[in-house]
Amino acid sequence: MAMASICQVQSSPLSEAQECLLQVVDGEEEAAANNGLKFQIRDLRKVSDAGVPILNGINVDIPKGMVVGIIGPSGSGKSTVLRALNRLWEPPRGTVFLHGRDILDLDVLSLRRKVGMLFQLPAIFEGTVADNIRYGPQLRGQKLSDKEVYRLLTLADLDSSFYNKTGNELSVGQAQRVALARTLANEPEVLLLDEPTSALDPISTQNIEDCIVKLKKQKGMTVVMVSHSIKQIQRIADVVCLLVNGEIVEILKPDLLSEAKHPMALKFLELSS
């Protein structure tokens, strides 16, 4: 299997920092097939109804099989970027490409199956954990076998005793793992995680982090994860994007975060450490 790794294209003026900075150094065929990229984001902009800029031209490539962290101050546009990738917010045409195809040309439901999302607070549907996990495939007329449900529970680090539990019997951390198993039942290629552990205790946080690392290793999952925790990003991300005022001002390897140059990025790092 081809190994994707990152080389950062140094672009000296900060104004150019938001240009495509991640490149995949990839093997043979995968390099030919869209350079091993999952998502390409090109000059993604958003202005609020009141005329306030929210995203100011995001340009980034998201290589497949990589865990990409996004950090930045509150209100900097992190959730908006994530939501653009599965059209929870409809981005303008010509700005977001999955495998080289404009996501506006894809069926929105199949896009959301391929690009699953977890939020800060999980919403568990009525019924049992097993019903929740079967939900997505059932919408497509597929009934997951018990064996498949147990496999998904294991993948989300839950034992078989959860099968018959209902939402009100779960802690937030367990509910988040059920939400993860339910998302994984759709066999996504990409997981979008919007601060998935900020409501969780340290043990549940570690469980989710372990799952993400396992999914990357075992399934080659591509993950884009917003986190308020720089330490978390350092534990699990391969690369981190710093988003400030709707712009990616730095893209760095997590162990080199202290080398960030943008003043707002430095301040954010200082306050978060």
Ligand X SMILES: Nc1ncnc2c1ncn2[C@@H]1O[C@H](COP(=O)(O)OP(=O)(O)O)[C@@H](O)[C@H]1O
Going by C-alpha positions, the residue among 77, 136, 142 that lies closest to residue 112 is 136
Residue 227 engages Mg ion in binding (rule: CB under 5 A): no
Name the CA dihedral angle for 223, 228, 234, 240, rounded to a multiple of 10 degrees.
60
Find out whether 232 and 205 touch, Cβ atoms under 8 Å.
Answer: yes
**Considering only residues 40, 79, 174, 186, which one is a binding residue for Mg ion as defined by CB under 5 A?**
79
| End-to-end Cα separation, the chain, in angstroms | 37
Residue 80 engages ligand X in binding (rule: CB under 6 A): yes
Q: Helices marked H in the chain — which ranges? A: 28-32, 78-85, 108-114, 129-139, 146-155, 172-184, 202-219, 230-236, 263-272
Stretch that binds ligand X, among 58-66, 72-80, 123-131, 160-168 (CB under 6 A): 72-80
Residue 77 engages ligand X in binding (rule: CB under 6 A): yes
**Nearest-approach distance from CB 198 to ligand X, in angstroms:** 11
Residue 76 engages Mg ion in binding (rule: CB under 5 A): no
Task: Look at strands 53-63 and 37-47 and give their pairing.
Answer: antiparallel
Q: Find which of ligand X, Mg ion, none residue 176 binds, CB within 5 to 8 Å per kind.
A: none
Residue 74 engages ligand X in binding (rule: CB under 6 A): yes
Looking at the Cβ atoms of 48 and 168, the one nearer to ligand X is 48
* Token pair recorded at residue 64: 């497949």
Residues 40-59 that bind ligand X (CB under 6 A): 48-49, 54
**Considering only residues 6, 22, 30, 78, which one is a binding residue for ligand X as defined by CB under 6 A?**
78
Stretch that binds ligand X, among 57-65, 67-75, 143-151, 162-170 (CB under 6 A): 67-75
Binding footprint of ligand X on the chain (CB under 6 A): 48-49, 54, 72, 74-80
> What are the residues binding Mg ion (CB under 5 A)?
78-79
